[in-house]
A and B are shown apart, each in its own frame.
Chain A
Amino acid sequence: MSKPIKFIHTADIHLGRELSVNGLNHSENENLFRTAGKRAFENLVKLAVSREVDFILIAGDLYDREARSVKASRFFLEKAEELQEKDIDLFLISGNHDPAGVENEIFELPANVHYFSSEEVETFEYQKAGRLAARIIGQSYRQKFESRTMYNYYTAADNSVFNIGLLHTALTKDNSRYVPVNKGELLSKKEIDYWALGHIHQFEQLNKKPAVYFSGTLQAHNISEEGQKGAILVEVDSNLKSIEEFIPLAPVIYRQLEIDLTAEDLNNISQLQSLLQQRIEELRDKINRQNKKQEFAAEAVIIRLLLKGRTELHRHVENNSEELEETLLAEFRRSNFNQSPGCWLHSIIFRTAKSLPELAELRNSNPLYKNLEALISDILAEEELNQELLAEWGEIWQGTQDPEDRENHKFYPDQKLQQEIMAEAKRIIISELIEDGD
Chain B
Amino acid sequence: MHYKKIYIRDFGIFNNQNLDDISNKLVVIGGKNRAGKSSFLKLLRYLPYGLPQDNSIPPAASNYYIEAELEKENTSYNLSLEGFSKPRVLDEKQREHSAVELFNQLDQLTYQHLFSISLDELQHLSKIAGGKKKEKRLYSILLGAGFSELVRVPELADKYYNRAVDTGGKRGDPSVADFKPYYNQIREAEDDRDEALLEVKEFSNKREELLKKQSSLQKLNEKIESVENEYILIDLLKNNYSELQEIEAVEQKLKRAVSGISSSRSVEPDQAETKTENLNQQKKLNELISFFEQNKLINKFKQKEEALKERIKNYQLQKEKLAGVRQQLLLELESLNSSWEGGLQQLNNIELDLIKEQKLNLKLKDYENLNSDLEKIESQIKRLKNDERDLSQELEAVEFRKPGTVLKQSYLILAVSILTLGSSFLINLNQLRYLSLIIALAAFFYYSSSYKTSQLEKEKADKLKKEKELKQRELAQLEQNLAKKTELLEELEKELGSYAQILGIKEDEYRSFLASYYREIRDKQRRYQELKNEEKVHFSNKAELLKTLQELKTIIKNTAQNCDLEFSAAAEVDLIKNQQDLFGDFELIKDLKALTDQYLTKKNQLKHTLKASEKIKNALTEINQEQSYYQIFINFYQQFPTAAAVEAEKESLSLELSNLKAEKGKLEENITTLKNRINELSTSTRIEKAQQKIDLAQTKLEKKAQDYALNQSVSFILKKLRAKMIEKAEEELLKPASKIMKRISSGHYSQLKTASDLEQRDFRIITAKNKEEKQTKELSQGSLEQLFLAVRLSRIKEINPPLPLVLDDSLVNFDRSHLYNTAELLAELAGSHQIFILSCHPHLISFISRLTDSAQYWKLDSGRFELSSAQQLIAHLNN
Binding site for B on A (CB under 8 A): 16-18, 20-24, 34, 66-71, 73-74, 104, 106, 222, 322, 346-347, 349, 365-368, 371-372, 375-376, 379, 385, 388-389, 392-397, 408-411, 413, 417, 421-422, 424-426, 428-429, 432-434, 436-438
A-binding segment of B183-191, B238-246, B415-423: B183-191
Chain B residues whose C-beta falls within 8 Å of the C-beta of A366 in the assembled complex? 105
Chain B residues whose C-beta falls within 8 Å of the C-beta of A375 in the assembled complex? 717, 720-721, 724
Interface pair A393/B709, CB less than 8 Å apart: yes
Interface pair A22/B696, CB less than 8 Å apart: yes
- In whole angstroms, what is the CA distance A432 to B413 when docked? 210
Interface pair A372/B717, CB less than 8 Å apart: yes
Interface pair B152/A426, CB less than 8 Å apart: no
Interface pair A397/B688, CB less than 8 Å apart: no
Chain B residues whose C-beta falls within 8 Å of the C-beta of A397 in the assembled complex? 172, 705, 709
Interface majority SS (helix, strand, loop, mixed), chain A: helix
Chain B residues whose C-beta falls within 8 Å of the C-beta of A346 in the assembled complex? 699
Interface pair B682/A17, CB less than 8 Å apart: no
A-B contact pairs, 8 of them (CB 8 A): A18-B692, A20-B698, A66-B691, A396-B174, A408-B698, A426-B717, A429-B156, A437-B152
- Name which of A69, A393, A409, A437 has the most chain B CB atoms within 10 A of its CB: A409
- In whole angstroms, what is the CA distance A396 to B109 when docked? 40
Chain B residues whose C-beta falls within 8 Å of the C-beta of A413 in the assembled complex? 709
- With A71-B683, A349-B703, A426-B717 given, can you name 20 additional A-B contacts, CB distance below 8 Å? A16-B688, A18-B687, A21-B692, A24-B693, A368-B147, A371-B721, A392-B172, A392-B715, A393-B172, A393-B705, A395-B174, A396-B179, A397-B172, A409-B182, A409-B187, A409-B698, A417-B706, A421-B710, A428-B714, A433-B149
> Contact flags (1/0) for B173-202 with A, using CB distance below 8 Å?
111000100110011001001001101100
Chain B residues whose C-beta falls within 8 Å of the C-beta of A410 in the assembled complex? 174
Check if B494 is an interface residue, CB within 8 A of chain A.
no
- Name which of B149, B182, B196 has the most chain A CB atoms within 10 A of its CB: B149
Interface pair B200/A394, CB less than 8 Å apart: no
- In whole angstroms, what is the CA distance A69 to B683 when docked? 9
Interface majority SS (helix, strand, loop, mixed), chain B: helix
- In whole angstroms, what is the CA distance A61 to B613 when docked? 62
Check if B684 is an interface residue, CB within 8 A of chain A.
yes
Chain A residues whose C-beta falls within 8 Å of the C-beta of B398 in the assembled complex? none
Q: Which residue of A lies closest to B705 (CB)?
A: A396
Chain A residues whose C-beta falls within 8 Å of the C-beta of B48 in the assembled complex? none
Interface pair B105/A425, CB less than 8 Å apart: no
Q: Which residue of B lies closest to A388 (CB)?
A: B716
Q: A106-B200, A393-B712, A437-B152 are in contact. Are A408 and B186 (CB under 8 A)?
A: yes
Interface pair A379/B717, CB less than 8 Å apart: yes
Q: A375-B721, A429-B718 are in contact. Are A20 and B695 (CB under 8 A)?
A: yes
B185 to chain A, nearest CB (A): 9
A203 to chain B, nearest CB (A): 24
Interface pair A396/B687, CB less than 8 Å apart: no
Interface pair B713/A389, CB less than 8 Å apart: yes
Chain B residues whose C-beta falls within 8 Å of the C-beta of A396 in the assembled complex? 168, 172-174, 179, 701, 705, 708
- In whole angstroms, what is the CA distance A408 to B835 when docked? 65
Chain A residues whose C-beta falls within 8 Å of the C-beta of B588 in the assembled complex? none
Q: A69-B200, A346-B699, A433-B149 are in contact. Are A421 and B684 (CB under 8 A)?
A: no
Chain A residues whose C-beta falls within 8 Å of the C-beta of B703 in the assembled complex? 322, 347, 349
Check if B289 is an interface residue, CB within 8 A of chain A.
no
- In whole angstroms, what is the CA distance A265 to B721 when docked? 32
Q: Which residue of A lies closest to B146 (CB)?
A: A367
- In whole angstroms, what is the CA distance A222 to B691 when docked? 12
Check if B153 is an interface residue, CB within 8 A of chain A.
yes
Interface size class of B (residues with CB under 8 A): 35 or more
Check if B95 is an interface residue, CB within 8 A of chain A.
no
Check if B145 is an interface residue, CB within 8 A of chain A.
yes
Q: A70-B203, A437-B107 are in contact. Are A411 and B702 (CB under 8 A)?
A: yes
- In whole angstroms, what is the CA distance A372 to B147 when docked? 12
Q: Which residue of B lies closest to A398 (CB)?
A: B172
- Find residues 308-327 in chain B having any chain A CB closer than 8 Å to their own CB: none
A238 to chain B, nearest CB (A): 44
Check if B845 is an interface residue, CB within 8 A of chain A.
no
Q: Which 10 A-B pairs have the closest CB atoms?
A: A394-B172, A433-B149, A18-B691, A365-B105, A425-B713, A22-B699, A20-B695, A409-B174, A392-B712, A70-B682
- In whole angstroms, what is the CA distance A17 to B725 when docked? 51
Q: A367-B145, A428-B714 are in contact. Are A71 and B705 (CB under 8 A)?
A: no
Q: A425-B713, A437-B148 are in contact. Are A409 and B200 (CB under 8 A)?
A: no
B676 to chain A, nearest CB (A): 14
Check if B694 is an interface residue, CB within 8 A of chain A.
yes
Taking a contact as CB atoms closer than 8 A, the residue among A24, A73, A349, A433 that contacts B152 in the complex is A433
Check if B290 is an interface residue, CB within 8 A of chain A.
no
- Find residues 423-461 in chain B having any chain A CB closer than 8 Å to their own CB: none
Q: Which residue of B lies closest to A23 (CB)?
A: B696
Interface pair B105/A393, CB less than 8 Å apart: no
Interface pair B173/A394, CB less than 8 Å apart: yes
Interface pair B713/A421, CB less than 8 Å apart: yes
Chain A residues whose C-beta falls within 8 Å of the C-beta of B712 in the assembled complex? 392-394
Chain A residues whose C-beta falls within 8 Å of the C-beta of B720 in the assembled complex? 375, 379, 385
Interface pair A392/B716, CB less than 8 Å apart: yes
- Name which of A393, A411, A413 has the most chain B CB atoms within 10 A of its CB: A393
Taking a contact as CB atoms closer than 8 A, the residue among A347, A424, A426, A438 that contacts B699 in the complex is A347
Interface pair A409/B701, CB less than 8 Å apart: yes
Check if B681 is an interface residue, CB within 8 A of chain A.
yes
Q: A347-B699, A396-B705, A433-B152 are in contact. Are A34 and B714 (CB under 8 A)?
A: no
B417 to chain A, nearest CB (A): 164
Interface pair B145/A432, CB less than 8 Å apart: no
B204 to chain A, nearest CB (A): 5
Chain B residues whose C-beta falls within 8 Å of the C-beta of A379 in the assembled complex? 716-717, 720
Chain A residues whose C-beta falls within 8 Å of the C-beta of B204 in the assembled complex? 106
Taking a contact as CB atoms closer than 8 A, the residue among B203, B207, B695, B709 that contacts A21 in the complex is B695
- In whole angstroms, what is the CA distance A66 to B698 when docked? 15
- In whole angstroms, what is the CA distance A21 to B693 when docked? 10
Interface pair B684/A71, CB less than 8 Å apart: yes
Chain B residues whose C-beta falls within 8 Å of the C-beta of A389 in the assembled complex? 713, 716
A322 to chain B, nearest CB (A): 8
Q: Which residue of B lies closest to A428 (CB)?
A: B714
- Name which of B145, B169, B696, B699 has the most chain A CB atoms within 10 A of its CB: B699
- Find residues 646-687 in chain B having any chain A CB closer than 8 Å to their own CB: 681-684, 687
Chain B residues whose C-beta falls within 8 Å of the C-beta of A434 in the assembled complex? 149
- In whole angstroms, what is the CA distance A73 to B706 when docked? 37
Chain A residues whose C-beta falls within 8 Å of the C-beta of B174 in the assembled complex? 395-396, 409-410
Q: Which residue of B lies closest to A366 (CB)?
A: B105
- Name which of B187, B682, B696, B702 has the most chain A CB atoms within 10 A of its CB: B702
Q: A21-B695, A70-B200, A371-B721 are in contact. Are A395 and B709 (CB under 8 A)?
A: no
Check if B143 is an interface residue, CB within 8 A of chain A.
no
Chain A residues whose C-beta falls within 8 Å of the C-beta of B691 in the assembled complex? 17-18, 66-67
> Contact flags (1/0) for B155-179 with A, using CB distance below 8 Å?
0100010000000110111110001
- In whole angstroms, what is the CA distance A364 to B718 when docked? 20
> Contact flags (1/0) for B1-40 with A, using CB distance below 8 Å?
0000000000000000000000000000000000000000
- In whole angstroms, what is the CA distance A412 to B180 when docked? 18
Chain B residues whose C-beta falls within 8 Å of the C-beta of A438 in the assembled complex? 108-109
Check if B150 is an interface residue, CB within 8 A of chain A.
yes
Interface pair A24/B692, CB less than 8 Å apart: yes
Q: Which residue of A lies closest to B723 (CB)?
A: A375
Chain A residues whose C-beta falls within 8 Å of the C-beta of B169 in the assembled complex? 394
A120 to chain B, nearest CB (A): 25
Chain A residues whose C-beta falls within 8 Å of the C-beta of B698 in the assembled complex? 20, 408-409
Chain A residues whose C-beta falls within 8 Å of the C-beta of B147 in the assembled complex? 367-368, 371
Interface pair B705/A69, CB less than 8 Å apart: no
Chain B residues whose C-beta falls within 8 Å of the C-beta of A417 in the assembled complex? 706
Interface pair B152/A69, CB less than 8 Å apart: no
B402 to chain A, nearest CB (A): 170
- In whole angstroms, what is the CA distance A425 to B148 when docked? 19
